[in-house]
Structure 1
Amino acid sequence: MCGIIARFGTPRARPFDMRETLARLRHRGPDAQGAIGWSPGSALVDLTVSAFADSQHQLGHLRLSIIDLSHAADQPFRSDDGRYLLSYNGEIYNFVELRAELVALGHVFRTTGDTEVLLTAWRQWGVDVLQRLEGMFAFVLVDREFNRIHYCRDHFGIKPLYRVALPDELLFCSEIGPLIERLNEIKYVPDRLAHVLRWGSDEGSSETIVYGIERVEAGVCSTVDLDTLDETARHVFFDLESIEEQDWSFADATQALRDAFIGSVDRHMRSDAAIGFSLSGGIDSSAVACCAHLLGRQKIQTFTYVPDDAALSELRWAQMIIDQVGADATFIQPSPSTVDAHLPFVIKHQGEPFGSLSIFAQNEVYRAVAAKGVKVILNGQGADELLAGYAQYFTPLLAGYMRRGKVLHAAALTSAMRRQFSMDWATVGKWLGRGALPSWIREPAAARYLAKNATWARFPDAGSNERFSAVDVYRGIAPRDGLKTTMKASIRHSLAALLRYDDRNSMSHSVESRVPFLTPHLARLCLSFPDRFLISDQAVTKYVFREAMRGIVPDAILDRRDKVAFAPDNRNWATAVRKLVGSIGDEGPAPGVVVPGKLEAALAAAENTGDTKNFDLMWPTANFVLFNRYNRPSQ
């Protein structure tokens, strides 16, 4: 886990201070830093020693040492023949197997880590190596022989990479902050801003909320000619849409999933640094910790968030796992004063708006992880998206069954939902009706709802159906399109946001977060299962995974039907948010978006009455105000 910064320019490009930029990203790689600069026809210059801010091309790296802790593995990493320069962020979990293949082909290695394996594998197989990788990664690879670069993000976008194309230069960075500084000013993209004000974040598009800054697309590797700075090739190496349902027996599916997940946890524990486990007490994080125990890991350190509100706490479930695996447990219980002190830190390090105060709670967990000297954390992120763990998946599943004429499955599921959720037939009808509505009906309805209830915000272009598709989190995907279509949209959108939150939170404390559910093999496996294996006719979510974990995870955990996770303690934290927001005046480059006085009044009312039922609707606007305040370019 590391930080990348790269600038490629023409002779007319403005000077670029690599050392200053590296200093801004120091939290991503406190163990080592490196930077190389050069211009056409010149020798490589070590930019950590010499300023040379006018080097046309500059490649920088900050290292959090996890595998092969020696300085021989520091970056930017150079190939033996000098042709390639690599700045890489992430981990390749199957590097041991790839290294064995490459050694058999005659390659010799001078380090024991995954960075040299990645570069050597590229030299051997070129872009086709991306099909072989299991891991999380983002990289910029310079090919000096052909004067071009290749840049890439992993299959799911676990690791970040942003891109800005300016006159005479092209920049890449692991975080958005240094790129905002390079822009000198900040302007917002209207429909992305509308999305932020409704949902709290804007993932799912290559555009960010900031005009001119783009996310590099997950599962894609692009090539740029350094003579022209034009993109010359685009290679898609992972496509969710290509995954189709297969004819599985339930027994075979259960065994295949069990074997694949245990193997993934095993490879995700490869580390030369201390490892811990994020444990909520839910099925996913419990499965990760229990599989580690099954694999023989002796020392298991767990970290559990405990809210003050007992109704939100999963402590008793987490304690069950702690007792089973004999964990050394740490519990994190943020107080309102902690929110006062630490929320600005979280907003600054996230660099983009985020969906709820659960992200603050997660950051407090990573703060505790770092304080314990742990550098790597495994968590259960991605399971809900790959295994249909959210309640909102019932609507597209029912709609899909009805559309395909699977009436018996629909009837059984409807009856089970009525029992499980104590729903009357009118409520069931609303679920089914919502699934049948096309986006051109849902979007104006959402606009009217926001105009009535979120009176403190003016949504950009809210009157236009074309632009207000931003309020639809899946951008035109209707529940009636079925379960798998909705799941894939969720992976591209809401999971992308969760992964960004997790990356910024962990890296703000120089901790590497790993997600063993998110491998291309597990994705292809889970998305190939029939719908009824994911959500059973008895309304059991993650059905096939629950059965795959029998005998590993306690039945009491596997049989849970509630879902809590990092539930924010909004009732106790509302005062801190109201104080931070303060009085809203001219909020910079988006004047008129926030209505002065109304948000302050709504937050004060929530604080005074203790009624925070609308807090989730207030938070996106409050967060935008704070994001805009803390992330303006320095003058």
Structure 2
Amino acid sequence: MCGIAGLFHLRDKPEFDRALVQRMNDVQFHRGPDEGGFHFEPGVALAHRRLSIIDLSTGQQPLFNEDGSVAVVFNGEIYNYQELVPELEALGHVFHTRSDTEVIVHAWEAWGEDCVRRFRGMFAFALWDRKQDTLFLGRDRLGVKPLYYALLPDGTFVFGSELKVLMQHPGLAREIDPLAVEDYFAYGYIPEPRTIYTGARKLGAAETLRLVRGQPMPAPRAYWDVRFTLDNKLSLADATEELVERLRASVKLRMISEVPLGAFLSGGVDSSAVVATMAGLSDAPVNTCSIAFDDPAFNESEYARMVAERYGTNHYVETVKSDDFDLLDKLAALYDEPYADSSAMPTWRVCQLARKRVTVALSGDGGDESFAGYRRYRLHAMEERLRGALPHGVRRPVFGLLGRLYPKADWAPRMFRAKTTFQALARDSVQAYFHAVAIMNDDMRRRLFTPSFRNSLGGYRAIEVFQQHAARAGTDDPVALVQYIDTKTYLVDDINTKVDRASMAHSLETREPLMDHELVEWLATLPSGLKIKGNEGKFLFKKALEPMLPNDVLYRRKMGFAVPLARWFRGPLKDRVREAVLGDTLAATGFFERRYLQHLLDAHQSGARDYSARLWSLVMFEAFLRNSGQAAEVRRAA
């Protein structure tokens, strides 16, 4: 795993400041502490930080083709590179290394922009072709690896693996994007292609961007999408057999490494499946790492131990105290923009533990999206059946009125919250799902923001992100639709962002077998009835794993990788959260209604409501402002 950075001028060929490029590369040193490399020529600068995984002796970057006219800087792994090498050699290309990186330059020469379609892996790269005066950027299909970019007013294009790389350039304005703020307080993250700054963008998952000097910068181009056809007629027995074969193939590809390799083992279905599969493919014991919590309500370590004992792994466990909240400011600096998934804290800890033992760790991320594991999918399907019983013209006024009149019962499980159910039934499918997953729903955000901030949105609402993806989903199946939306949003911008930053903070490479695009494509052909059966999510996956894992692991209630925010904000962090939410930093933005902030705090700390997720989003926004220097900028502007 690595970090990439660089500059390209769209109009001229200036000599770029080498000290600036050095700073851009140094700020991501954690992504690749083993080596650093540069390439400079008029109008182009490429930089790279290397974490050596494959071809330790000759895989340095930037890496060039035979005549030095094509250069690449690359972050990630091309897992099928050993299959591509002989094909490219047959076309006349000569390889000088054993690294997967060299495949990229020759694939570009052979297949041009379509080279990305041939890659099976996780990747973000920038390729310079001198003969074509072209810079070409690409990102993997499921957005495992990040890539940020900006076009500056003087025609300089700047890119990097993290937003902090771009922020080293003095020409990048640090103006906060109001639309990104609206998105953040709805989702808890900022969906691509936006960033918190108006002038910077994320290259989207499964997108490429080709820049040619002398031509205007085009829009990014999508080269792949997952299609939920649901038309595969396999029997349950045949589907489970094929699933096991595909899982083995995906895991095997991701076990190629010249450095110590292991896996995260939480005790959940997904990570346990990966470990069990690894054990069947390895002659040596698998290295596994788990985090235990001293709060039993959040502790899954007993289930991890069961799997570790069954497969004789080298199992390492560290216990995290339930009051482990010292990472707050560290995380704000790590993510570069507001990010409100509190599971980033235990994720940071388990990556810290894993790096003591291994350099590469396989994870179970992506399983909930592809196998329909989230409880919210089952609830959405149930609600959708009810919505289908009445036309929207009837549902909206009837259930809308009931939703307004019925008292709130936030304390009850969702299925017993009649107010929530009535409100969901009054909406269309996408609106209902958005309302179910939003940290702050439309009404809460309306009350949170000041009139002047709402005016700056120009009528924009965060639900538009979901609506745009839903329009491209190509399916009316309620489960498949929300799986598609999550694959394009939550998986990329929350899960993958969380794991990339937490792992790279410790110079640890993570690999995700359940996000193999060929596996994801195949699963999307299977009917939703094979994924959710009654009240059981991941039905097919669990059936396939029954010979490999204990029923106590497969069929227990999902816990998640959570921290006790509600208790923290009423106890040890009570004063700290009040200071953050009601202090000068948020007030100076002019974004927030103080009266509503006071309501959120008082209602939560009195025990009347659980507003912990909402308060966490505000705490992390305040921490972002302080750690990014935006707090001082806001005060000066005020």
Q: After TM superposition, is the score higher than 0.5?
A: yes
Do the aligned partners of 1:353 and 1:623 also contact (CA within 8 Å) in 2?
A: yes
Contact 1:4 1:139 in 2 (8 A): yes
Q: Distance in 2 between matches of 1:331 and 1:21?
A: 36
The residue that corresponds to 1:303 in the other structure is 289
Could you tell me which residue of structure 1 aligns to residue 150 of structure 2? 164
State the secondary structure of the residue aligned to 1:90: strand
Given the superposition, is the C-alpha separation of residues 580 and 75 from structure 1 closer, same or farther in structure 2, using an over 3 Å criterion? farther
- 1:480–1:79 Cα change, 3 Å: closer
Q: Would the alpha carbon gap of residues 331 and 435 (structure 1) be closer, same or farther in structure 2, given more than 3 Å must change?
A: farther
Task: Determine whether 1:201 maps to 2:186.
Answer: no
Structure 1 equivalent of residue 393 of structure 2: none
3-state secondary structure, aligned to 1:469: coil
Partners of 1:542 and 1:437 lie apart in 2 by: 22
The answer to whether 1:3 aligns with 2:3 is yes
Task: Tell me how far apart the structure 2 counterparts of residues 351 and 606 of structure 1 sit (CA, whole Å).
Answer: 28
- Matched ranges for 1:421-432 at <5 A: 430=422
Please state if 1:61 is matched with 2:52. no
Looking at structure 1, the residues matched to 246 and 496 of structure 2 have their Cα atoms a distance apart, in angstroms, of 22
In structure 2, distance between residues paired with 1:220 and 1:98: 21
Partner of 1:587: 585
Structure 1: segments with no counterpart, 5+ residues: 40-55, 406-420
Q: Write out aligned runs for 1:67-466 (5 A).
A: 67-70=54-57, 72-167=58-153, 168-182=155-169, 183=171, 185-203=173-191, 205-228=192-215, 230-231=217-218, 235-241=221-227, 245-335=231-321, 338-340=324-326, 342-370=327-355, 372-398=356-382, 430=422, 433=425, 436=428, 439=431, 458=450
Task: Please name the residue that 2:406 is paired with.
Answer: none
Residue 444 of structure 2 is aligned to residue 483 of structure 1:
no
Q: 1:373, 1:514 → 2: CA distance?
A: 16
Question: CA shift at 1:491, angstroms?
Answer: 0.5
**1:414 corresponds to which residue?**
none
1:523 aligned to 499, 520, 524, which one? 520
Q: Which of 553, 559, 562 is the matching residue for 1:567?
A: 562
* Residue-by-residue CA offset, 1:275-301 (whole Å, 9 max, x unaligned): 121111110000000100111242322
The structural deviation recorded for 1:131 is 2.0
Mapped contact 2:433–2:482 kept (Cα < 8 A)? no
Q: Report percent identity of matched pairs.
A: 29
Counterpart Cα distance in 1 of 2:437 and 2:341: 23
Letter paired with 2:299: S
Cα-to-partner distance string for 1:82-138 (whole Å, 9 max, x where unaligned): 120101100011112222333454543221121112222322233333222210001
Cα gap change, 1:448 to 1:223, in 2 (>3 Å): closer
Distance 1:437 1:546, change over 3 A: closer
Q: Say whether the 8 Å CA contact 1:194–1:459 is kept in structure 2.
A: no
Paired with 2:307 and 2:555, the residues of 1 have a C-alpha distance of 14
Deviation at 1:559, TM superposition (A): 2.1
What is the distance in 1 between the residues matched to 2:217 and 2:456?
Answer: 34
Aligned to 1:541: 537
Q: What one-letter code is carried by the residue in structure 2 that aligns with 1:28? A: R
- Structure 1's 422 and 481: CA in aligned 2 closer, same or farther, altered over 3 A? closer
Does structure 1 conserve the Cα–Cα contact (< 8 Å) formed by 2:578 and 2:601? no
Tell me: CA distance 1:445–1:127, structure 2 relative to 1, closer, same or farther (3 Å): closer
- CA distance in 1 between counterparts of 2:133 and 2:198 reads 29
Is the Cα–Cα contact under 8 Å of residues 577 and 619 in structure 2 kept in the other structure?
no
In structure 2, relative to structure 1, the CA distance for the partners of 1:452 and 1:352 (3 Å cut) is closer
The aligned counterpart of 1:413 is none
- Report the Cα offset of residue 430 of structure 1: 4.4
5+ unaligned residues in a row in structure 2: which ranges? Answer: 390-412, 634-638
What is the CA–CA distance in structure 2 between the aligned matches of 1:493 and 1:448, rounded to whole Å?
A: 17
CA distance 1:470–1:432, shift in 2 (3 Å):
closer
Superposed displacement of residue 338, structure 1:
4.5
CA distance in 2, matches of 1:572, 1:422: 20
1:46 alignment counterpart = none
User: How has the CA–CA distance of structure 1 residues 610 and 448 changed in structure 2, closer, same or farther, with 3 Å as cutoff?
Assistant: closer
Give the Cα–Cα distance (whole angstroms) in 1 for the partners of residues 451 and 237 of structure 2.
50
CA contact (8 A) 2:184 2:338 kept: yes
Of 9-18 and 498-507, deviating more is 9-18
Q: For 1:19 and 1:367, how far apart are their aligned partners in 2? A: 27
Q: For the residues of structure 2 that align with 1:596 and 1:377, how far apart are their CA atoms?
A: 44
SS at match of 1:191: helix
> Equivalents in 1 of 2:158, 2:283: separation in Å?
42
- Shift in Å at residue 153 of structure 1? 0.4
| Residue identity in the other structure for 1:367 | Q
Aligned amino acid, residue 186 of structure 2: R
How far did residue 314 of structure 1 move? Answer: 1.0
SS of residue paired to 1:299: coil
1:384-407: CA deviations, max 9, x gaps?
A: 0111111111244346667889xx
Distance 1:76-1:466 versus aligned 2 partners, 3 A rule: same
Once residues 461 and 427 of structure 1 are traced to their aligned partners in structure 2, the CA distance between those partners, rounded to angstroms, is 29
- Map of 1:45 onto structure 2: none
Structure 1 residues 578, 299: closer, same or farther in 2, change over 3 A? Answer: farther
TM-score, scaled to structure 1: 0.85
When the two chains are superposed, the root-mean-square deviation of aligned CA atoms in Å is 3.6
Distance in structure 2 (CA, Å) of the matches to 1:530 and 1:444: 24
1:36 alignment partner, SS class: strand
- Deviation of residue 312 (structure 1)? 1.6
Query: Which of the numbers 21, 31, 42 marks the counterpart of 1:18?
Result: 21
Q: How far did 1:592 drift?
A: 1.5
Which one of 14, 30, 33 corresponds to residue 27 of structure 1? 30
Residue 624 of structure 2 is aligned to residue 627 of structure 1: yes
- Secondary structure of 2:167's counterpart equals helix
**Could you tell me whether the CA contact under 8 Å between 1:578 and 1:604 is conserved in 2?**
no
Map 1:605-624; keep pairs closer than 5 Å: 613-624=610-621
Query: By how many angstroms is 1:614 displaced?
Result: 1.4
Per-residue deviation, residues 207-237 of structure 1 (Å, max 9, x unmatched): 1121111110211222111234533x85432
Measure how far apart 1:469 and its partner are: 2.8
- Contact 1:294–1:552 under 8 Å retained in 2: no
TM value normalised by structure 2 = 0.84
- Partner residue in 1 for 2:497: 500
How far the C-alpha of 1:582 sits from its partner, in A, is 3.5
Alpha-carbon shift at residue 474 of structure 1 (Å): 2.6
Matched, 1:554 2:547: no
Question: Quick one: distance in 2 between partners of 1:423 and 1:606?
Answer: 22
Q: Within 1, Cα distance between the matches of 2:422 and 2:462?
A: 23
Alignment check: 8 A CA contact 1:190 1:460 kept: no
What residue identity is the alignment partner of 1:284?
Answer: D
Which letter maps to 2:246?
Answer: A
Cα separation, 1, equivalents of 2:231 and 2:384: 14
Structure-1 separation of matches of 2:232 and 2:458:
36
Say whether the 8 Å CA contact 2:25–2:165 is kept in structure 1.
no
